[in-house]
Every structure is written in C-alpha cells, then in structure tokens.
Chain A
Amino acid sequence: MATTKAPVAKPKINLLGFEQAEYKGGPSTLCPGCGHDSISSRIVSVCFELGIQPYQMAKFSGIGCSSKTPAYFLGRSHGFNSVHGRMPSVATGALVANRNLVGLAVSGDGDTGSIGLGQFKHMVRRNVPMIYIIENNGVYGLTKGQFSATADIGQKLKYAGLNELPPIDLCTEAIIGGCTFVARSFAGDPKQVEALLKAAFSHRGMAVIDIISPCVTFNNNEDSTKSYAYGKEHEERLHDMTFVPAREEITVDYAEGEVKPVTMHDGSTVILKKLENAYDPTNRLEALTRLEEARANQEFITGLIYVKPEGAPTIHDMVHMTDQPLTQLPDSKLRPSREALTSVLQDLL
C-alpha cells in the first residue's frame, strides 16, 4: 500500500514572502455557487503555494462568465479580457512578444468549443507555452442558458429545449491537435484541480485542463452531466495525483506497480496512484481510446489524461527567436543603423 504523510498545515507566507491575499483578485460578481468561482480559488491557492511571481504572470480570457474570472484572482498580474473566442491569438501575441511571461488563460466551453474552436486548435498546434483552463458547464452562462458545443446530445433545458447535436470533447480535440498536457477535472474536486494546476505550471508547452464547472443557474439539474450532483456521483478518477515540486524531496512511499511517477520537464514529479487498471497517461493512443470509451459508456473520467513529460518544442522554438523578450530589446536593437539603410538601398538603385 502506498502511504502519504499527513498533510502539513499550509504556511501563511510563501517562498517569496507573500501572503495568500497577494494572489487574490477583486470580488466575484458571478452567481453564488458557480463552479467558476471555486476554480478561481484553486488558482489563487496554487499560485500562492508554488510561489509564482505575480508580476511575471499574464492572465488571458475571452468572453463569458468564465472569462470574467481573471478579474477575481491574481490582482497583481496583468490581465487581458479579450473578445469572444479569440483569446488564443491575443495570448499567442503577448507570449511571443514577452517570452518571460507565464501565461494563464481561462475560457468557457462556448468560448473555446463554439466560437473559438479554430483559434483553440491552432494555438494547440503552435504549442504556445501556457496553461489553458476551460471552465466547462455545457451552456452559455452569460447569454442565459443556450447550449454550447459540449452539451450532451439529447439533453433538455428549460430555455434552450432539446439538444440534437453531438458534443465536442475538448480533451480529444487537444490531443489530436498535438497538445502534450491534457487533463479533465471537476470543480467539485478541489484537490485534483490543484494537483493538475501545479503539474501544468511545470509543463513545457501548452497545458489544457478541461474542468467541468457547473452553472448553478442554467445547467445544474441532476440529470445534466455538467451538474454538481452528477459530478459528485459519477466522477471516475483515473488516478490520485500528488505533485512534488523539483525543490522538494519525494516523501511518498509506494509499492512497485501501484504508483507511476512522472518527471516533468522542470524536474518536478507528478505521482499518479493508479486507481484504474494500468492506465498510462503517457500513451497518446491509449488516451484517445480511453476518452472514446468514456464517451461511448457515458463515463465521467478525470485526471491527467495525456502527458508527454518532457513537453515539446514551443512556438518560441519554432520562430527561433532570441532569448531576450522582444519587448525588452533596447531601441538600438530595434532600429538598424544608418549604414544598414545605405546598404539595403544600394540594391534598389
């Protein structure tokens, strides 16, 4: 049996000497009980615990209730609440401009799966190094309850009626697009959300976390697969996760075969205690198969569905750009010399 040491009480001050309050944002204006708010809290505590420098973070979102949330966490970080479905391009531009920024994006199932599917998939292709959270409630919250592209086929809603279209699985889309860190979780499972977020911070490349995040106002009936009740009842964790930062020693004892340690690009470790028989999240094909099985059998699987522990070349590698952030280049490196102009004009004479 694997044993974990009893959790130590969280310190009041993190590595950087900041209190948790430094990672909070403005007060939320979402409906009380909205799944999105609980995810904001997870972001706050993870960034606090990991000792993330707030000024190095950049938050991005599209439009929707979910996309409003970057105003409710990390008030000491710059944020860009962009336009509906187009946040991936904004984040791409910003992170190419300043490669030192740590990007964290929040989107909704409508923002990513409907209007923004194209930009989402192209961002995955470009492997923009950042965390991309989808707060997935199966509806458009902000426009009051229309079906989104992740709603189940056959679902009925008071306002929207019957949904006759099959859902898009955003984890599947991400894996097919070449994403090297793909996870699914549940807003009602704070421990797992936190472990996944921590692991995502250690990933080299884009990390997509699709979090079922109930909309208490428009889609929380027990028969909805995006409701709290359904999630609590049906969540099937692929594994239990513990994140061990690179700087800490691994203190988890485990018996051979029961636990799979995954060493991330930055030397930290994700310890996956197997719950489901021999699920290997580092096997891309297996991940796709498991997602397809889950779809066919209406299973709500959560956990790290696919990871390539070493990550993959990012957009920064693809454009071969210089190590210094483009935004920090001095003017002398932005404008070529007088002689350079004379020399290029020579060819045009």
Chain B
Amino acid sequence: MAVVDYQTEPRPAEIASGDLNINDFAIIVATPNGSGSQTANNTLLRAFFNMGIPVTGKNLFPSNIKGLPTWYSIRLSKDGYQARRHKKDILVAMNPATAQDDLKDLEPGGVCLYPNDSRMELARTDITYYPMPVKELVKNSGVGVDLRDYIANMVYVGVLAHLLGIEIAQIESALSKHFKGKAKAIQVNMGVVNAAVEWSQANLQTPCQFRCEPMAQTAGKLMLDGNTAAALGAVFGGVTVAAWYPITPSTSVIDGLNDYLPRLRMDPETGQPNYAVIQAEDELAAIGMVLGAGWAGARAMTSTSGPGLSLMAEFAGFSYFAEVPAVIWDVMRMGPSTGMPTRTSQGDILSAYFLSHGDTQQVCLLPGSVIECFEFGYLAFDFAERLQTLIIVLSDLDLGMNQWMSDTFEYPEQPLDRGKVLHAEDLKQIESWGRYRDVDGDGIAYRTLPGTNHPNAAYFTRGSGHNADAKYTERSDEWMENLDRLAKKFQTARTILPKPLEMNHENATAGLISYGSNDPAVIEALDRLREQKVNVAYQRIRALPFAAEVGDFLAKYERVYVVENNYNGQMAQLLRMEYPAYAARVVALANCDGLPLTARWITEAVVEQEG
C-alpha cells in the first residue's frame, strides 16, 4: 500500500440513490486522550439530537489523563436502536497511533477522515478517504497556540457537517449548550467549524453516501448518562447524607448530586443545605458513614465500583444482620481490583448478591435504562427503609457514563416509603416493643430512631448475636429464630421489588433473559432474530432476589439464553442455583471484552444454537 502524505483527491464515487444511507450509521472518532475532543464529540452528538435523529454516544477511554488512545462512537439510528454497533461506517482518525487498527473496524464502503499531515497508511481500498487540512485551518483561525490542540477537533466537526449535511445552526446551538452560553468560547469554536465547512465546500465535491436528514424522533426526549439520572433520582428520593470515595466509573453519580442538590435541596427557610455530601478517606469509611446515617434515620447512600464494593463487604454484612438501611450504587467496571478500570463489565453480580460473610444475601436492583437509573435512584431508599437493609444498585460503566436518549422522567407518584418506624407517639400507644420482633409476619420488624423522646425507645444495635429484643445472645435457638426471620424478610423482598419485564412472542421457541445495560442490544437482536425466523421471548430481570415471574419464565422454555457482560455467566449461575429443576435449560451467553454487548454478537450466538 502506498503511504500518502496529502491526498487531495478522494476516491471518486458515484452514489446511486439506492446506496444512500440516511440516519443509520455509526461514526467513530479516535483521538489521543486529553486532546480535548470531548467538546467536538458532544457537539456532534447534540447536533444530531437537535435534528431529531435518534442518537447515542459512547466514550471508550483509557485509565489515563493524557496521551493514550481514546475513542468516541456516535450511532445514528432512524429505528431508534441504542446499542453499540459492532463495526463503524465513518472513522475520524485523529490518532495516528491507532489509525491502522481503527481502519480495520470500518464496514466495507466506509469513510475515513484524517489530518492531511498524518502519516497513516491508507491500507484499505474499499474506503473513501478525506484528508483534512487541520493545521492550516487552526493556524488561520487566529487562536492562541495554547488552545490550538483543543480547537483542532472542531475541524472534523466542520468537515462532517459538510459531508453529512449537519445543520450549522444545530452545531451552534449545541456549542452554546456545551459552553453554557459563553459567547467567546462559542465564537472561537464556531470560527473553526465555519472555516472547515468553507474549505470542504471548496475542496470536497464528491458526494458522501452517508447523510443525515432531520427527523422528529427526539422531541421531548432527554439526552443524558445513567449516573446523572441516578443522582437526580436520589435527589428526588430525599437523599440527605452521601458519603463517597472517588472511583471511576461511579464518581459522576456524586458529581450529579453536587450539581443538583444545591439547586434543589436548599432549605427554603434557612437557605442552608438540607443534605451533607462527605468525601470519605476510603470506601470503608464511606459505607460506615452511610450506615451510621441510615441508623439515625437519614436517607443515606454511597457510590462506588468493584474495588470499593469489596472494601465495603464487612459493613454490608452488618447492615444485613443488624438491619440498617443503606444504599450503594455500584457502577460496575472490569475487575479484578484495578483490572481495566475504564472498561465496562457486569462482573459484580455474584459478589454483590453474596456480599459479606456468614450467610448474607443482599437485595440488588438492576437498572436497564437511564429512566430506571432515575426511578431506582429514589426507589432504592424506599426499599432500604421498607426492608431495613442494604440495597445495592448494580449499574455499569456503559449505562452510567455514556450518553443515552431517553423518554422524559415522570415525577414519582408514590410518596416516600419511610418503612416501619415507631415514633414517640407510637410508643405511647403500645405496651412494649422489641427491635427484632416479627409483629406483622413479613419478617420486617419495627425500629426506633436515636433521639426519640420516649423511655422505651432505645435499643442497642450490634452485629453480634441478638434476640428479638435486641439483647445480646449466643443461644442457638434465638440466633436461628433471627436467621429464619431474615430469610422470611428476603422472601418479602421478592414480592415488593421491581418485577421483571417481558417481551413475549407467540411462536417463541426459546427464552432469553438479560438485565441492565444489555437491554438495547437485546431488543435490537430480537428484531434481527425475527428476520431470520428465530423467535425468542425476552425477560429482563430488574432485581435480586428473583421474583416468582423468573421461575415462571424458566418453566415455559426448554432453552433459556442468559445474556450478560461478564466472563463466568454470573446470572446464569445464580439462576441454576436458585432453580435447580431448570438448571439444564439455562444457557449462558456471556461476553467480557470491556465493551458493551452488540446486537450482532447476541444474534449470532443465539442463531448458532437455535438456527
């Protein structure tokens, strides 16, 4: 292959209208980390969204502040599919270090944009190349040397605007949103975009087969990441204490709290915060603070990822046995320990479910969309206080940190559920109470809060053996009574947690179970499978322990594919364990490569077995 320094003439292509691809392609922008491409990529994403085209953006970034390769993929889908596309159609090759590999990931007939001084090898002949005079355009923009690297990325925004037909007004409005109206920044960036558009008009005559055209599919929709949605949910759920320790990919949950709490939760009378966000010295302290606050009667949460979750294990068991409400948002990433910290995975299912020692089982929620991140953001507190236990919300990097298009959020219709708490007035009405007595037969006892002004209110919370009246005990019968009640409470949890959602098909020959951020890829895969006459019913699990409906679903199909983003097929293992009678039906379809699952992978994996 020839190494081309400057290719002025792109491969001429006659595009018949039949080859035109309108609003159904994926772009990948490859840049070195820290080069400021985020502004450019956000601008593109927003501009498509503003044009009414369903779009999603995924950031694939290294654990590094500057220099290592990073990619941003933008998928336009007129049909509204949101999952990661297996291959991409348009490459913006800003990083010579990865250009060769990036090129391989293009679909045949794809397009590649690259800076004209790049020494990349144009190795494929089935691709149309567009060199961009990045240096010149930036130099002519008059921007100071210190900002040139950042502004350089706006060149590809301009070139893409010309090639794809992105409305310039939408780019400007996206930039305005990005820079929160700061005129100078908008003007500087638009200057480069406009220069790039002008250059493209003069130099790139060839039509491009990828086009975007305005649609009306995004009116009233939101564009945000799951962590922001989680934070907003927590704010509407009445979080009052958040304690945390920084860790990717969960940090932005707390960033979200720090954005929204000052806006929404200042006391109307005193003007002071009705909340406290504390950066702890580590995750042990973070969860300790959450338990202390939950015990005192606050709605308290922390957010973390795998390594932090491991550190929280001892307190998780304490919460389970001493029955202290607490919420952990575990935004899962690749493990173990540091693993690949900026790559997505669903590897904490089993460790979260069994977190701690000595016969614990934890209640987990599995949000599958940004809407559910919002809903579970407030519901997690309701469940924690209702069940008086730790709730672990298992999100992941893909859902938490990437940009998703979403229906708008509904205001929570149910009031806060503060659970079974006896206040001083209640205590006056009753003769006696015991902290761990099962009065209602649902395994959930009544608690009192410190500071309750009644002589019978106090009790002593301990992880060690306690009887129904919270008194110290090492008697086997009293301990077993407690374990039996905790087991009963766990059964109660099954009945009140979010039920699985199902998409049935009358002619389904098999079932498919999945959860969390896999949902968009599964939905798309089901359509592809139907085209190939493979009909499967789909159930998405939204909570652990399993609701009865999960067993019913397993009962219906001879083969049930369990699709998940981890290596060991953890949910499949859990299903086999909880439903031994159906264990043989469970087929694990697990993939763990650091990337979100794709519809193509799921489709092929199912077809291989069903087809």
Contacts and interface: CB of A to CB of B under 8 A. Distances in A.
Q: Do A and B bind each other?
A: yes
B267 A93 contact: no
B436 interface: no
B272 A323 contact: yes
Contacts of B124: none
B274 A341 contact: no
Given A55-B453, A89-B280, A119-B284, A81 B461 contact: yes
A96 B278 contact: yes
B453 A93 contact: no
A91 interface: yes
Interface string B49-85: 0000000000000000000000000000000000000
Nearest to B406: A348
Nearest to B236: A335
Contact of A344 (B263, B268, B448): B263
Contacts of B409: 341, 345
Nearest to A22: B455
B278 A326 contact: no
Contacts of B280: 89, 122
B289 A90 contact: yes
Interface string B281-305: 1101111111111111111100000
B285 A58 contact: no
A80 B415 contact: no
Contacts of B291: 82, 90, 93
Given A327-B297, A340-B264, A93 B289 contact: yes
Given A94-B296, A344-B264, A79 B458 contact: yes
B161 interface: no
Given A81-B463, A335-B237, A98 B458 contact: no
B505 interface: no
Contacts, number: 224
B104 interface: no
Nearest to B416: A331
Interface in A318-343: 319-327, 329, 331, 333-336, 338, 340-341
B293 A319 contact: no
B220 interface: yes
B150 interface: no
Contacts of A255: none
A321 B272 contact: yes
Contact of A341 (B278, B290, B315, B411): B411
A327 B463 CA distance: 23
A60 B461 CA distance: 9
A295 B255 CA distance: 46
Band of interface residues on B? 35 or more
Given A55-B457, A81-B461, A94-B296, A338 B411 contact: yes
B276 A96 contact: yes
B179 interface: no
A116 to B, nearest CB: 10
Contacts of A325: 451
Contacts of B293: 93-94, 96-97, 326
Interface stretch (B20-28, B238-246, B509-517, B555-563): B238-246
A55 B273 contact: no
Interface string A80-104: 1111001111111111111011000
Contact of B221 (A77, A344, A349): A349
Interface stretch (A68-76, A184-192, A264-272, A274-282): A68-76
Interface residues of A, number: 60
B270 interface: yes
Most central of A88, A97, A101 by chain B CB within 10 Å? A97
A319 B276 contact: yes
B314 interface: yes
Contacts of B281: 118-119, 122
Interface in B455-476: 455, 457-464, 471-472
A77 B455 CA distance: 9
A97 B300 contact: yes
Contacts of A145: none
Given A96-B241, A98-B451, A90 B464 contact: no
B154 interface: no
A234 interface: no
Given A321-B273, A322-B274, A329-B240, A89 B292 contact: yes
A81 B464 contact: yes
Nearest to A80: B461
Given A93-B293, A96-B289, A327-B449, 4 more contacts: A89-B288, A90-B295, A93-B291, A321-B273
Closest 4 CB pairs of A and B: A89-B288, A93-B292, A334-B238, A93-B289
Interface of A: 26, 29, 54-56, 58, 60, 70-71, 75-83, 86-98, 100-101, 118-119, 122, 126, 315, 319-327, 329, 331, 333-336, 338, 340-341, 344-345, 348-349
24 contacts: A55-B451, A55-B458, A76-B458, A78-B459, A81-B462, A86-B285, A86-B288, A89-B287, A91-B292, A93-B296, A95-B292, A97-B292, A97-B294, A97-B296, A97-B300, A319-B277, A321-B275, A322-B267, A331-B238, A331-B415, A344-B232, A344-B264, A348-B224, A349-B221
Interface of B: 220-224, 228, 232, 235-238, 240-241, 243, 260, 263-265, 267-268, 270, 272-278, 280-282, 284-300, 314-315, 318, 378, 408-409, 411-412, 415-416, 418, 448-455, 457-464, 471-472
